[in-house]
Amino acid sequence: MKVAIVGIGAVARYLIDELLSGKHDIVAISRSRKPWLDDLNVEQHQVHYTADMIAPLIQGCDAVICTISSSSPELVGVHESLLKACKSTPTCKRFIPSVWVGNFEDIRDQPYYGADRIQRIYDMLVGQMSVEWTLLSVGWLIDYVIPASQRYLPNEKFWVQNVNDKTFKLYGNGTQTISCTAARDAASAVVRLLETDAEWEPFTYISGEQITWLGLWRIIKEYDPEYRLAPKSLTESIKQLVDSTDGMATVEAVFDVMGHSEALCNPQERVDKHRHIYFEGIQFRSVKELIEDAKANPGRII
Ligand SMILES: NC(=O)c1ccc[n+]([C@@H]2O[C@H](COP(=O)([O-])OP(=O)(O)OC[C@H]3O[C@@H](n4cnc5c(N)ncnc54)[C@H](OP(=O)(O)O)[C@@H]3O)[C@@H](O)[C@H]2O)c1
């Protein structure tokens, strides 16, 4: 199989690892050159995202996976170009957009400042029949619980752990459940999805573990007793959203509101159903299993 990956960042690196280990061919498409792709012998192209520019690059591909930053102002336009390019080729008839979120199927208004763009991508895809597609519901990619040196995902200000002052942001009483998936396990599931002949559904549910924030806090504290709780109320998060003047504070507040809500929890019956249809044999690690993997393999990207 030959797969085009568009927007080469942290998530793309996991996908590339997993595609290469499955002996698949890759075409990497991005705006800027990535020298590390040369070391892996991966074909790469730098583009402006017009359908005319992309179409020749995906000739002979079976699928396109987009992983451009979801904060990109051109997110919808890039997806329009990619879909148009797929339609123009005879073989590239599967498309995974850059929607790596929680339960968007049921919670259509989150992430606040972003949901409308996901909805526009969804509307664009559902309004056509020639390219098969699915939106990925992965919950939180949970790799932030392991050291930065063992993951491609960079430290994020909006994640609940502050690794500098060792605080854990607890939303309300911490009883909301979130779906947690290791990025590599999500990538491995995506490769499996591409390999299957089974028909895709509009939403694909992937989750390594369903856990409450309080449950996650207990694990973090167990592995590093220096961590302290930093409770954050829903009102504080809403106030931050309303008052925020810089982009990063807004992003943090948007994720806080999600953290307080049900939007990051994938329904277990849909997770189980998709494991059965698509993902038999993949080991989706729990939070503890991921941490143990990192401890057992120091110096390795997990
Ligand atoms: N559910 C979760 O917990 C979770 C966690 C992490 C990420 N994600 C999602 O996964 C996807 C990929 O995440 P990521 O962390 O790999 O993303 P990223 O590293 O922030 O961005 C990926 C690539 O997008 C390209 N890009 C950035 N701004 C762009 C723009 N304005 N127009 C076109 N391309 C642009 C950049 O490549 P070039 O500059 O070379 O073009 C960048 O390397 C996103 O949808 C993100 O929201 C979800």
Taking residues 239-248, what's their average pLDDT?
A: 92
Q: Closest ligand 1 atom to the C-alpha of 12?
A: 16
Share of the chain above pLDDT 90, in %: 97
pLDDT of residue 100: 96
Give residue 235's pLDDT band: very low, low, confident or very high (50, 70, 90): very high
Give residue 37's pLDDT band: very low, low, confident or very high (50, 70, 90): very high
Taking residues 64-74, what's their average pLDDT?
A: 95
State how far the Cα of 13 lies from the Cα of 5, in Å rounded to an integer. 10
For 252-296, the pLDDT digits (tens) are 999 999 999 999 999 999 999 999 999 999 999 999 999 999 999
What is the best residue among 46, 68, 143 to mutate for testing ligand 1's pocket, by most ligand atoms within 8 Å of CB?
Answer: 68
Ligand 1 midpoint to CA 101 (Å): 13
Ligand 1 midpoint to CA 228 (Å): 31
Minimum CA distance residue for ligand 1 atom 20: 69
Residue 219 has pLDDT above 90, yes or no: yes
Residue 181 has pLDDT above 90, yes or no: yes
Residue 230 has pLDDT above 90, yes or no: yes
Minimum CA distance residue for ligand 1 atom 24: 68
Minimum CA distance residue for ligand 1 atom 21: 69
Taking residues 232-242, what's their average pLDDT?
A: 97
Give residue 70's pLDDT band: very low, low, confident or very high (50, 70, 90): very high
pLDDT of residue 115: 97
pLDDT of residue 12: 98
Q: Closest ligand 1 atom to the C-alpha of 68?
A: 24
Taking residues 5-12, what's their average pLDDT?
A: 98
Taking residues 46-68, what's their average pLDDT?
A: 98
Q: Closest ligand 1 atom to the C-alpha of 33?
A: 40
Minimum CA distance residue for ligand 1 atom 36: 7
Give residue 157's pLDDT band: very low, low, confident or very high (50, 70, 90): confident
Mean pLDDT of the chain: 97
pLDDT of residue 247: 87
pLDDT of residue 10: 98
Taking residues 68-92, what's their average pLDDT?
A: 97
Identify the residues whose C-beta falls under 6 Å from ligand 1: 7-12, 30-32, 67-70, 72, 74, 78, 98, 100-101, 138, 140-141, 153
**In the block, residue with structure tokens 């809500």:** 261
pLDDT of residue 88: 98
State how far the Cα of 133 lies from the Cα of 276, in Å rounded to an integer. 19
Taking residues 32-59, what's their average pLDDT?
A: 97
Give residue 49's pLDDT band: very low, low, confident or very high (50, 70, 90): very high
pLDDT of residue 38: 97
Ligand 1 midpoint to CA 143 (Å): 16
